[in-house]
Homo-oligomer: A and B are copies of this chain.
Amino acid sequence: MLYLFDLVGVAVFAFSGALAAGRFGLDLLGVVVIATVTAIGGGTLRDVLLSRHPIFWIRDQTYVIVIAITALLTTIYARHFPLPGDSLQIADALGLGLFAITGAQAAESLKIPRIIVIVMGTMTGVAGGMVRDVLTNQIPMVLRGDFYATAAIAGIALYLVLKALGVRPSWAFGAGFVAISGLRLAAIFWGWSLPVFRLGS
**Chain B residues with Cβ under 8 A from A64's Cβ?**
115-116, 119
Alpha-carbon distance between A92 and B146 when the two chains are bound, in angstroms:
29
**Chain B residues with Cβ under 8 A from A57's Cβ?**
116
- The reply to whether B139 and A139 contact each other, CB–CB distance below 8 Å, is no
Q: Determine if A134 is an interface residue (Cβ-Cβ < 8 Å).
A: yes
Q: Mark A135-166, 1 if CB is under 8 A from B, else 0.
A: 11111101111101110010000000000000
Q: Mark A20-33, 1 if CB is under 8 A from B, else 0.
A: 01111111111101
A-side residues, CB < 8 A to B, are 19, 21-31, 33-34, 44, 48-51, 53-55, 57-61, 64-65, 75, 78-79, 112-113, 115-116, 119-120, 130, 134-140, 142-146, 148-150, 153, 193-200
